[in-house]
Chain A
Amino acid sequence: MKKIIVPLGPDHPLFEEPEFFILHCDGENVVDVEWQAGYNHRGIEKISETKHWDQVTFLVERICGICSNSHPVAYANAVENLLGIDIPERAKYIRTIISEMERLHSHLLWAGLAGHFLGYNTVFMWVWKYREPLLDMMEMLTGNRNNYSMIKIGGVRRDINDEQIKALRKTLDTLKTQNEMLTKVVLDDPVLQARLVNVGVLTKKDIKDYGAVGPVARASGVDIDVRRDNPYAAYSFIDWKVITRENGDVFDKAVVRLLECFESIKIIQQCLDRIENKKGEILNEVKEIPPGEGIGRHEALRGEVFHYVRSDGTSSPIRHKIRAPSYVNVPTFKKSCIGQTISDVAIILAGVDPCYCCTERVSVYDANTRKKKNVTWTEIVRKSQEKTKKLKKS
């Protein structure tokens, strides 16, 4: 029997976090997965040691394009933990609003991409259209569609005025109806059920073994969420719930994400209620950082992000450690991909939502003859889309 090895990755100019997967295949079935990381080591932790405390916020913002609010929040939490200070209440609400808007746009982006991988390009187009007003709102509130630069140690850099609050409410209302439609479409579509249910299952034990976090863990019934377990910003003042599902397949991951969108909308609306028609401080000026160490956590879109900083009293950190959620989520592929077909691998990998824009290059390796054949990511996506087409016809 010929064993085929399919390497996925590692480098592509558009790929945010180059990752390298080697799929060992027996015919169409995946029998083993290997994962290598570290192709895009930018030395951010080291650069951080050469920057001023305030400048590091902008550095960590650029770790990931989509989580460009998560890392600064976690970093600011860490430094505030070191300082032992609290931030003004209004700043807490603003941080929460921006974090949740980021979650919304990221989950929608994921839903669109998942649709694309499955051959539902209409879903892709619609969802990305729904996401667009949200990004416009971000531009209005923060000054940019991405890389928001809202967080500063001790508070936030910009206030939100009543006019913006009104516009944001309107956007959220529209988004809510659209998201409702989308969720129903996903939940009762038989083809999607056939493609996603019982695909890439991760059990509770798998999650605990791999230490997976975020929506991946919650889809398998592991009820963890930093926002509730270790409240920061304004999450403890607000009424919301953590969404969990039991099966741990890709379908549940999708459901968790879509339902989390409603929770996010709810959180933002409550925050808006509390800051509307009010004035308040948004920044506790921090003059200097004393020696010490601090940790900061934040429930980013893909799970918990963790920052550790240590200060010796100078103007830059002497140690800054960062752990991003994909780092613990990606190894779960080892469990979820095995036994599945290559055409399902695309959606299983996407189901974890790794910073996974563009593994546009894949080569198929014949283990016996050592011959290499290049297949593109498009090819794998096409395979996945063809499978959906077949299902639709039957």
Chain B
Amino acid sequence: MKKPKIRELREAVRSLFSKPYTTRFPMEEIIVPEGFRGKPQFYEEGCVGCTACAQVCPSKAIEVEENLDPANPTRRLTHIPAYCINCQECERNCITGQGIKLTKQFDVSYFSENEVNHSIEHQIILCSHCGGIVGAKKHILWVMKRLGSLSFSQADYIEHIQKSLDIPAIIPVKHEKHEKIERDEIFNITCPKCRRAVYIEDEKIHF
């Protein structure tokens, strides 16, 4: 029979009198360190609805639903923790840096998905010609603000900027809808595809 050595006895005694290393979760709360990567959360003030986070997400945990009803077009971003791998790519790539952030919540057990799936809704702007998506309203405004005076180069923003500055319209904008896209359509909000068509396929200019 092998006899234990002093060093093993010492360790045994130490183990006997020390607290168990395991915690009493869920009876006791666990405090996770700073920088822990938990469940991501959208923030209304920061998010502009650009969907960059959904595009970079490696596991497609952010779902984008778009409702193209002309009366109230919306875009809904839903975070699905069941798919999320807490990699923080969404936070790193968020264009505002404030729209989605990882919280310290590690426990995402649930009975029904609705308890944990959490979403944010944005109003979107539709193309006045084809009805396609131009972008989220907040996103377009955010880009305009960042561009500053440069955004005047975009004809369809001019009217908005004038309005926001309380300037009566310098250029009278005609809101007519034509069968085929025409040049004055550039003063309406148009999607990039239609805008290209304006310059290339305008019925009055034939190449």
Q: Identify the A interface with B (CB < 8 A).
A: 51-52, 54-55, 58-59, 62, 122, 126, 129, 132, 136, 139-140, 143-144, 147, 149, 157-158, 181, 184-185, 189-191, 392-393
* B34-46 vs A, Cβ < 8 Å mask (1 yes, 0 no): 1111000000000
Given contacts A143-B36, A143-B88, A191-B2, 11 further A-B contacts (CB under 8 A): A52-B56, A55-B58, A58-B59, A62-B85, A122-B12, A129-B15, A129-B21, A139-B32, A143-B86, A143-B102, A157-B92
Interface residues of A: mostly helix, strand, loop or mixed? helix
Q: Min CB distance, B14 to chain A, in Å?
A: 10
Question: Which residues of the other chain, B, contact A157 by a CB distance below 8 angstroms?
Answer: 88, 92
Contact residue among A55, A144, A189, A392 (Cβ-Cβ distance under 8 Å from B37): A144
Question: Which residues of the other chain, B, contact A129 by a CB distance below 8 angstroms?
Answer: 15, 21
Docked-complex contact B58 and A58, CB < 8 angstroms: yes
State A52–B8 Cα separation when bound (angstroms): 52
Docked-complex contact A143 and B2, CB < 8 angstroms: no
* Known A139-B32, A140-B35, A149-B88; contact A392-B21, beta-carbon cutoff 8 A: no
Question: Which residues of the other chain, B, contact A126 by a CB distance below 8 angstroms?
Answer: 11, 15
Q: Quick one: which of B1-60 are within 8 Å of A by CB?
A: 1-2, 5, 7-8, 11-12, 15, 21, 32-37, 56, 58-59
* Known A140-B33, A392-B1; contact A59-B58, beta-carbon cutoff 8 A: yes
Q: Min CB distance, A72 to chain B, in Å?
A: 11
Question: Which residues of the other chain, A, contact B21 by a CB distance below 8 angstroms?
Answer: 129, 132
Q: Min CB distance, B55 to chain A, in Å?
A: 9
Question: Which residues of the other chain, B, contact A149 by a CB distance below 8 angstroms?
Answer: 37, 86-88
Q: Is B89 in contact with chain A by the CB < 8 A criterion?
A: yes
Docked-complex contact A139 and B85, CB < 8 angstroms: no
Q: Min CB distance, B101 to chain A, in Å?
A: 13
Docked-complex contact A185 and B58, CB < 8 angstroms: no
State A54–B58 Cα separation when bound (angstroms): 9
Docked-complex contact B15 and A51, CB < 8 angstroms: no
State A129–B92 Cα separation when bound (angstroms): 34
* Known A58-B89, A59-B58, A147-B85; contact A181-B7, beta-carbon cutoff 8 A: yes
Central interface residue in A62, A149, A189, A392, by most chain B CB within 10 Å: A149
State A89–B15 Cα separation when bound (angstroms): 41
State A326–B71 Cα separation when bound (angstroms): 59
Contact residue among B2, B15, B36 (Cβ-Cβ distance under 8 Å from A139): B36
Q: Min CB distance, B2 to chain A, in Å?
A: 6
Docked-complex contact B36 and A393, CB < 8 angstroms: no
Docked-complex contact B15 and A189, CB < 8 angstroms: no
Question: Which residues of the other chain, A, contact B11 by a CB distance below 8 angstroms?
Answer: 126, 181
Q: Which 3 A-B pairs have the closest CB atoms?
A: A143-B37, A55-B58, A140-B33
Docked-complex contact B1 and A393, CB < 8 angstroms: yes
* B151-185 vs A, Cβ < 8 Å mask (1 yes, 0 no): 00000000000000000000000000000000000
Docked-complex contact B37 and A54, CB < 8 angstroms: no
